[in-house]
Amino acid sequence: MKSYLIDPSPALPLSQGRESSLYVHVPFCEKKCGYCSFYSVIADDRNISAWLEGIAREAEKYSGAKIRTLYIGGGTPTVLTMPQWQKLMTIIRHSFDLSELTEATAEANPNSLTEEHAEFLRDNNFSRISLGVQSLNDDELKALGRIHDSRQAVRAMEIVRDSGLNLSCDLIFATPGQTLRSWDYSLRTVMNYVSHISTYQLTLEPDTPMGRIYGDDDLNAAGYKFYRYAQYFLPKHGFFQYEISSFAREGSECSHNIAYWNHSEVIALGPSASGYIDGVRITNPRTLEAWLSGTEPERETLSPRERVIELAILSLRTKWGIPRKDIMPEIEAVLLEMPSDLFIMTPERIALSPKGMRLGNAIWCELLGV
Ligand code: SF4
């Protein structure tokens, strides 16, 4: 079986030639969605110029790092105009070595993705676009406070398909008013365009507009059936679940996300972005103002024990699970006490079964108590 688990403690200093993944947070959107608790502000040219200058300064700190996977996320990276994209890629090329890049992804939203964006990304060695489709039902999109409709979502998927780039779509389930029939329609439609699907249950923080209207408990109860349906439907159509939220055609798994789940090194640029270097989680100041003013990032050093527990939880999110040779005896003991139908156990490794994936949160809580 293929293993992506590697030694989580690279000892090299941050310098020329060091290998890493790179995440760049674009903290701009056209309008705030009703459920969103990510950090983003409404895009305007002045803020974007200041952000680009900040990215250039921050990138210099990691100058010379060799980037294996690149992910431009947000926010909404497709609110950047073509000259702004050009400037961003010039900064990244100036500071980093992209000669061994294996995957590059840009997030996009259906209402702002243009043919020019797709062509630019393809011509700049991007391999994937991750599109925030969320649903193909207009009532659900309205309930979520999205500014696109299903027609625009299909058009955006056509743009990516015609560009030759790989497409991943995000879909949200447990939206108020959603039915299994509409969920089936969204899954069935995106399946024709994509090689990767990420499914997320709608979760509502109390400080979001939707969170002030709906109770999270009701949505949690509803979420189980939609998730279970995706686990049944997608593998039947060639999309295999390789992580709690991720389904892909064989060979289309997201290497950048796998780097996070392996505790590999991730350099993160931009406000609120979070990276991981030498066992230290580095989280940038949350707001654009604080980040631009030079406020220091938060640094959380994980003890060796915390690293092992965190790596076990991250590994269990994936279909590859935890190699038995690496597992801490206390963690193994906790897992073996749980119902056996939550796991797929082999002499080499322990992974979650589809049922275990559905109950992942309860399993993490047990492991955090080790
Ligand atoms: S587009 Fe994404 S990041 Fe922007 S407000 Fe909506 S959910 Fe949040």
- Ligand 1 centroid–CA 206 distance in Å is 16
Cβ-contact 144, 171 below 8 angstroms? no
For residue 14, what pLDDT is reported? 43
Cβ-contact 4, 262 below 8 angstroms? yes
Counted residue by residue, the chain has a size of 370
Q: Is 175 in the pocket of ligand 1 (CB under 6 A)?
A: no
With b for 16 or more beta-carbon neighbours within 10 A and e for fewer, the 257-282 pattern comes to bbbbbbbbbbbbbbbbbbbbbebebb
All structural domains of the chain, each given as residue ranges with its CATH number in brackets, are: 19-260 (3.20.20.70), 304-370 (no CATH)
Nearest protein Cα to ligand 1, atom 5: 32
For residue 218, what pLDDT is reported? 56
Nearest protein Cα to ligand 1, atom 2: 75
Which residues make Cβ contacts (< 8 Å) with residue 14, sequence separation at least 6? 61, 62, 65, 277
Tokens of 262: 């392996």
- CA pair distance 54, 284, nearest whole angstrom: 12
Q: Is 32 in the pocket of ligand 1 (CB under 6 A)?
A: yes
> Which ligand 1 atom lies nearest to the CA of residue 35?
7
Q: Is 134 in the pocket of ligand 1 (CB under 6 A)?
A: no
Residue with tokens 């589809």: 354
- Ligand 1 centroid–CA 55 distance in Å is 20
With b for 16 or more beta-carbon neighbours within 10 A and e for fewer, the 21-48 pattern comes to bbbbbbbbbeeebbbbeebbbebeeebb
Pairing of strands 280-283, 274-277: antiparallel
In this structure, is the dihedral angle defined by the CA atoms of residues 206, 208, 214 and 218, taken in order, positive or negative? Answer: negative
> Which ligand 1 atom lies nearest to the CA of residue 75?
3
Give the pLDDT confidence of 39-49 residue by residue, as tens digits.
999 999 999 99
For residue 10, what pLDDT is reported? 33
For residue 15, what pLDDT is reported? 41
- CA pair distance 152, 147, nearest whole angstrom: 10
CB atoms inside a 10 Å sphere around CB 286: 15
> pLDDT digit of tens for each residue in the chain (370 aa)?
333 333 333 333 344 556 899 999 999 999 999 899 889 999 999 999 999 999 999 999 999 999 999 999 999 999 999 999 999 999 999 999 999 999 999 999 999 999 999 999 999 999 999 999 999 999 999 999 999 999 999 999 999 999 999 999 999 999 999 999 999 999 999 999 999 999 999 987 767 766 666 655 555 667 889 999 999 999 999 999 999 999 999 999 999 999 999 999 999 999 999 999 988 999 999 999 999 999 999 999 999 888 988 899 999 999 999 999 888 899 999 999 999 999 999 999 999 999 999 988 888 888 877 6
- SS3 category, 30: coil
- CA pair distance 24, 333, nearest whole angstrom: 39
Q: What is the DSSP string of 89-158?
A: HHHHHHHSB-TT--EEEEEE-TTT--HHHHHHHHHTT--EEEEEEE-S-HHHHHHHT-S--HHHHHHHHH
Q: Is 321 in the pocket of ligand 1 (CB under 6 A)?
A: no
- CA pair distance 247, 230, nearest whole angstrom: 9
Determine the Cα angle at 309 with ends 259 and 17, to 5°. Answer: 30
Tokens of 64: 């010379």
Tokens of 315: 């590994």
Q: Is 40 in the pocket of ligand 1 (CB under 6 A)?
A: yes
- CA pair distance 336, 256, nearest whole angstrom: 31
For residue 206, what pLDDT is reported? 67
Helix (H) or strand (E) holding 282: strand 280-283
> Which ligand 1 atom lies nearest to the CA of residue 32?
5
For residue 326, what pLDDT is reported? 84
**One-letter amino acid identity for 20?**
S
- SS3 category, 247: strand
- CA pair distance 54, 49, nearest whole angstrom: 9
- CA pair distance 365, 94, nearest whole angstrom: 43
Cβ-contact 91, 52 below 8 angstroms? yes
Nearest protein Cα to ligand 1, atom 3: 75
Ligand 1 pocket mutation pick from 31, 37, 38 by most atoms within 8 angstroms of CB? 38
**One-letter amino acid identity for 203?**
T
> Which ligand 1 atom lies nearest to the CA of residue 74?
3
Cβ-contact 129, 121 below 8 angstroms? yes
Ligand 1 pocket mutation pick from 31, 33, 135, 198 by most atoms within 8 angstroms of CB? 33
For residue 17, what pLDDT is reported? 57
| CA gyration radius, the chain | 20
